Chain A
Amino acid sequence: DVKVTQSSRYLVKRTGEKVFLECVQDMDHENMFWYRQDPGLGLRLIYFSYDVKMKEKGDIPEGYSVSREKKERFSLILESASTNQTSMYLCASSPPDLLATQYFGPGTRLLVL
């Protein structure tokens, strides 16, 4: 059974803190994605990685960075958290195929105070 896990379901941080969101997949997928989900806006792609140490900006990369040192792990970093980064963050993975299904983790709900 395919599995994408995220390190926390809920997280509360203060403005200015550095925040790490971790995602691990056990399917040996090359592609990994970070999205944020906001009511009325759907899912928006923050960053995409197609291989270890490779990354590509998505639609809303400002205020975020990523790290992929190992194939199974993709980290999202908020260098200095702000209140407008309060959101649900979803990680996904897929094989390198235009037609591939993306497999999602359960999400991390981040509240920045």
Chain B
Amino acid sequence: AQSVTQLDSQVPVFEEAPVELRCNYSSSVSVYLFWYVQYPNQGLQLLLKYLSGSTLVKGINGFEAEFNKSQTSFHLRKPSVHISDTAEYFCAVNPDNTDKLIFGTGTRLQVFP
């Protein structure tokens, strides 16, 4: 069965520093990958998704992610974070031939001034 691993449960970082949130998925013939963000006291919203084509995907709020098939990874990056990026970030995979998503356990990004 498909699975997603987010190795870092918490990532503390100073404002304006770069950040990378790691996500690895179990291998599959075809895979669709997503990053969602949950701001405090809110539901989740889509940051970006990888469907096919270019391995570098750009999302909202300056985030981007790179799909790496050989390493089965889909890491999320931002070159310079803001206080407002403090949130929980979830990586998700869409198993073959289904509309459902499998979510990782989440990474809490804490941005300090």
Contacts and interface: CB of A to CB of B under 8 A. Distances in A.
Contacts of A102: 44, 46, 101
Given A50-B99, A58-B100, A98-B97, A41 B105 contact: yes
Given A98-B32, A98-B97, A106-B42, A40 B9 contact: yes
B72 interface: no
Which 9 pairs, one residue from A and one from B, show the smallest C-beta to C-beta distance? A104-B43, A42-B105, A43-B103, A104-B44, A101-B46, A42-B103, A106-B43, A42-B106, A105-B43
A12 interface: no
Interface of A: 4, 31, 33, 35, 40-45, 48, 50, 58, 90, 92, 94, 96-107
Which secondary structure characterizes the binding site on chain B?
loop
B90 A97 contact: no
Interface bracket on B: 20 to 34
Contact of A31 (B94, B97, B99): B99
Nearest to A106: B43
A106 B106 contact: no
Contacts of A48: 99-100
B44 A90 contact: yes
Nearest to A41: B105
Nearest to A101: B46
5 contacts: A33-B100, A97-B99, A98-B94, A100-B99, A104-B43
A42 B43 contact: no
A98 B101 contact: no
Contact of A107 (B43, B98, B103): B43
B49 A99 contact: yes
Contacts of B97: 98
Nearest to B94: A98
Nearest to B44: A104
A107 B45 CA distance: 12
Contacts of B44: 43, 90, 92, 102, 104
B29 to A, nearest CB: 13
B105 A40 contact: yes
